[in-house]
Structure 1
């Protein structure tokens, strides 16, 4: 009984106005769980029993090792098995309620009520599990499969060495000999050679910027972006299929027990597998093409274990082996297989174009281009458009990076500008729009793989060669932009000697921050807040006493770091909801607080680089990382709808800013030090 019911019961006995002194309730619950596999209770003892019980009661999946033990007993690795799992839960609840009525501290009546409640819950699932099999790894003179298998449980896959083996179809003999001989050649030059090869075959190279969406996709392909709307849609493959083809019984017998090559699924979703198995899973056949979401997730994070040029080499070798391209009739089979290979290359260049800045990757592309162009005219056109589009993107990237280098040089060589930002751009709203232009442009040039490579250098689990492949120039320049904007805000305030002017500039930046918030530009917003909170600015008490700071307090609350930036995360979700389905480009803008995004991705990267105890790669972490990076890709592809003011943008990016010591000195000149620590600091700066 609740409090109101107890009070009503007492008043019905003694009349209104009585007071309940005490109420005691006692409940007891008895539960019993029964685990059945294929209709038979599974006898588990000790820690296994405890682990199963805890997992079921909390609605979680037991560890893979424990499930594998049970499933192997059921014959999962030997023959097709129908797996029926049922959970029965019985619960009995006995509730005893006692009411004691007293008057003048004397008990005059006692009543009790006892209720019994029994619940019986049953759930069951039924699945058919097929034996796991893999296509055997091709024997390759430059690839030591035994070494790879023996080291599969190590933290780095050293068995995956550069594969430049003989390949009669996918590599020309001339290309074989000079595969890695031209590292000094620039990527656009190398790509231009590919285009020249096509031109020599009588194909005109398009001058326009084609979109990959215009390429003809063969049946089974998927031209949409990688989607991660729900885990159920992530992977539809099952262990009974290998690259879309049913395994013959002899293939199954040949591969039974080869657990290093297994892919592990849970509820139809890929959760782990060896590197060899995951590479095999991305290789297309005539009948099979890997899911686009899987391709994106694997290409994104696999670079923690195998370099892109080595991965492409492995894919070429597997294609030749499983399609038997080197044997009799290989050319005809290759002609039927070409559309799949071109589609794979198209999706790779579309999602990770910066991989093709590596001359070793382009060496493989050149040989593929030569062979494709010689057997299929339609594919030749598609490869030409693909390479032309890639060339344009990489050329634009080079120009962008050259422009960044010039900005850095110019800002370091100039004297502190006497031009005030409020004079150059009187409207805080327009300044916020120009900041958004800068943010979206810099975001657009960050490759998704940079988030993975940024942490490769820090990971103790990766071999030295992977640490050396760190190519994160655009990501690092974007982080530097955040710091520059913070110092720019502080510089613009401290360069004014008069308090009235400083107050005006502070309020101008607060209004700019508010406009950034309304736009959805959270990175500039946070940079401005950081600049206003820098010690040389926050210590200007006389200045702040004249500032209308209510708006600033609201913005600080929105970006409050407490509870892991819970306020900001809620606001970001709202901005994402606004962006989805918005027809107005201004409502689609989401510029995240980048440092926090990098921090979130760092922890996901940690999970990606750590292998499971059985040596498998944790593909669940790959899915999680890919989902967040996919959101980032959607944000960076938004076109800024505001009118561009080149003069303001140049001023924001190239005008000199004061260093930390120079800011402190300028701050003390604005308002003299008023405490002993500040006085000591001022003396040290003189």
Structure 2
């Protein structure tokens, strides 16, 4: 019908009836992948294949599709052309499935049974293109299995460092001894860029279907291997936050120098905001607001008013509204998330910091890395707020549609993250990886040594004159602690610390020796493993770091155990005078043994 809204607009309006599936059995949901017009229903396809893992598995879906295809030959009803159209639509569904979700067919324990079934089916029905695609996918998965599986293919700083070290002669030498944290370098932009490089690399590899509430929170008990891309993002978040916290509380130094370390991290946080890297931004801010750092009144009193103003402004991004939502950061993501430039100016980029090659690229195009925890929280809330099945025992597909809306946003931001053109800096990898990293319990013990707790101090003390929006963060989903370490949780006397003579820091080069290193031995190298259960009243843990987490109704620590054994030793990297801080080598036998296979 033509809309009579004016003589010159020439608009035509048409009423279209849409079919929306609210519930159904698995069989009916699979059957509905082919619409009433006998063509593939792309909208239902997107929702179904993004969420079906919550109520069935790939083998069942594949069998139902193949059975329906073959059933059209065995039980003809209606014109033959209709059967052919439906069969072509089923073939299109299978091809699109393999294109969009190839990881669904990675089944090394069953010798890729689903792909074998698909290849046999395609051969029997002379579907050449389907057979070739399935065969190639099977070969690709076999190569992937030989290379260590999909987890080994994820971007990893420690994999890069160890692999790079083994390519050079002298790989049996110990790693370089990085300074605890060098505040004298004008490298805030470069540190922020490199953190963004790794955050973006991991976020681009994230499989959005891993973020479903029932999957990543392990309600279906599928194990951490089922959500390895989420775990990698969480580990990176925790790695940043722990190093920020440790760099502030660990050194033996005066309060004014410790305040300079805090100010430097605030400057780095400002650059992260300009880069639209909200993941590391939250990691840095949550570390600065963690109990070990936030309680140091004497230190915060030395932080400049300029830094404090910036800190308050940055912290307000993640401030929680009365309804418990981080509304401001969500609004910022909506406004800036998919834009290829940042509305913020970066004054230090030109005035105070050395320009790098990536700065030029960033002037042309810039991506976004959101804080994954917001999406995981949304999906967990949907999972817990709505039932899996209706009162009739049918699958609640309306719930899956709501989940897909969040998953679609993740995919949109993944596209935005591809706009970054930051090159990787090998020197940064070595510097960052070997920065000391203690958990929050150890940092808190060290914090008490720096500043004694007053007798009447409540649990959550606040720094004098420090009024900052406290942001919610995620407790550590994967604990780095290991009961076999045999290392005391007491931080202090046994710790070797580094410093410079002009800063009031006492120096002792004992990071690498077994006797003087901080209590992080195996925990420093171990990969963090199985999930702990997440309850509604506890914090919804996500990207890694300060162990302490707050979320609306409470806080919790989610612990686990597990370690990864390493085969290689790192070759000393050429970072003697790199842009992140000078290093010293240490080649004694104790040092060598530490980096041999555990």
TM-score, normalisation: structure 1: 0.52
Partner residue in 2 for 1:560: 319
- State whether residues 237 and 280 of structure 2, in contact with CA within 8 Å, keep that contact through their aligned partners in structure 1: yes
Q: Deviations over 1:583-642 (max 9, x none)?
A: 989755222222222111112223565322233333222222112111212322433311
**Helix, strand or coil for the counterpart of 2:21?**
strand
Q: CA deviation at 1:645?
A: 0.9
- Matching of residue 578 in structure 1 with residue 339 in structure 2: yes
Larger Rg: 1
Structure 1 residues 306 and 609 mapped into 2: Cα distance closer, same or farther (>3 Å)?
Answer: farther
Structure 1 residues 628 and 379 mapped into 2: Cα distance closer, same or farther (>3 Å)?
Answer: same
Distance in 2 separating the partners of 1:455 and 1:615: 21
Q: CA deviation at 1:663?
A: 1.3
Partner residue in 1 for 2:394: 616
- Matching of residue 272 in structure 1 with residue 23 in structure 2: yes
Q: CA deviation at 1:457?
A: 6.1
- Matching of residue 569 in structure 1 with residue 330 in structure 2: yes
Q: CA RMSD in A?
A: 4.4
Q: CA deviation at 1:347?
A: 2.1
Distance in 2 separating the partners of 1:467 and 1:680: 35
Partner residue in 2 for 1:86: none
- Matching of residue 473 in structure 1 with residue 228 in structure 2: yes
Gapped regions of structure 1 (runs ≥ 5): 1-232, 239-266, 460-465
Q: CA deviation at 1:402?
A: 9.7
Partner residue in 2 for 1:312: 62
Partner residue in 1 for 2:464: none
- Matching of residue 444 in structure 1 with residue 204 in structure 2: yes
Partner residue in 2 for 1:627: 405
Distance in 2 separating the partners of 1:361 and 1:304: 23
- Matching of residue 667 in structure 1 with residue 442 in structure 2: no
- The structure 1 residue matched to 2:293, chosen from 509, 514, 537, is 537
Q: Deviations over 1:538-570 (max 9, x none)?
A: 122222122121100101111112331112111
Partner residue in 2 for 1:229: none
- State whether residues 490 and 537 of structure 1, in contact with CA within 8 Å, keep that contact through their aligned partners in structure 2: yes
Q: Deviations over 1:309-358 (max 9, x none)?
A: 2222222222211343999xx9x999987754553233223333322222
- State whether residues 517 and 525 of structure 1, in contact with CA within 8 Å, keep that contact through their aligned partners in structure 2: yes
Q: CA deviation at 1:531?
A: 0.6
Distance in 1 separating the partners of 2:389 and 2:127: 42
- State whether residues 213 and 379 of structure 2, in contact with CA within 8 Å, keep that contact through their aligned partners in structure 1: no
Which residues of 2 match residues 281-360 of structure 1 at below 5 A? 281-282=32-33, 288-324=38-74, 340-359=89-108, 360=110
Partner residue in 2 for 1:506: 262
Structure 1 residues 587 and 419 mapped into 2: Cα distance closer, same or farther (>3 Å)?
Answer: same
Q: CA deviation at 1:486?
A: 1.4
Partner residue in 2 for 1:397: 150
TM-score, normalisation: structure 2: 0.59
- State whether residues 490 and 663 of structure 1, in contact with CA within 8 Å, keep that contact through their aligned partners in structure 2: yes
**Helix, strand or coil for the counterpart of 1:294?**
helix
Gapped regions of structure 2 (runs ≥ 5): 1-13, 164-173, 344-360, 461-488, 493-598
Partner residue in 2 for 1:488: 243
Which residues of 2 match residues 76-91 of structure 1 at below 5 A? none
Bigger relative contact order, structure 1 or 2, given CA contacts below 8 A and separation 6+? 2
Identify the structure with the greater strand proportion. Answer: 1
Distance in 1 separating the partners of 2:233 and 2:39: 36
Which residues of 2 match residues 638-657 of structure 1 at below 5 A? 638-639=417-418, 640-653=420-433, 655-657=435-437
Q: CA deviation at 1:673?
A: 1.1
Misfit runs of 4+, over 4 Å: 332-342, 376-396, 401-410, 414-418, 453-459, 579-588, 677-681, 683-686
How many residue pairs are counted as aligned between the two chains?
410
